[in-house]
Amino acid sequence: MKIGFNDHGVKDKRKVLYRNFHAISGKIYLVEISRNKLKIFVLLFENFETPTNFIIEVLQEKVAHKLLQDNNNRFENFVAQFYIKFGRL
């Protein structure tokens, strides 16, 4: 999915680890977890038809691995803990 230029370093040719729809804080989001060589990106798209509007959280690789280990290495369990407050993840 092409998201265009952004300040977070998310490239169009990133490696997508997980992508699925989830209900978070009463809304349905397309959740994408992707990576580059150094960082893990958690992107939430409220309307996937306009991929330039998204909520993002950038994690260091060690932090992301620790969070996944705490959730039995299952992306669904990891995403189930998400919530949106003041437009941030």
pLDDT in tens, 63-87: 999 999 999 999 999 999 999 999 8
Is residue 63, in this structure, part of any structural domain at all? Answer: yes
Is residue 8, in this structure, part of any structural domain at all? Answer: no
Domain that holds residue 50: 15-80
List Cα–Cα distances, 26 to 43, 57, 78, 85, 88, in angstroms: 17, 19, 17, 11, 14
Is residue 85, in this structure, part of any structural domain at all? Answer: no
For residue 20, is pLDDT > 70?
Answer: yes
User: What proportion of the chain, given as a percentage, has pLDDT over 70?
Assistant: 93
State the Cα–Cα distance between residues 67 and 45, nearest whole angstrom.
21
Is residue 1, in this structure, part of any structural domain at all? Answer: no
Is residue 49, in this structure, part of any structural domain at all? Answer: yes
State the Cα–Cα distance between residues 1 and 48, nearest whole angstrom.
9
26 phi-psi bin (left φ>0, alpha ψ -120 to 50, beta other): left
Is residue 54, in this structure, part of any structural domain at all? Answer: yes
Predicted pLDDT at 5? 59
pTM metric for this prediction = 0.87
Q: Name the band, by pLDDT with cuts 50, 70 and 90, for residue 2.
A: low
Q: How many domains does the chain have?
A: 1
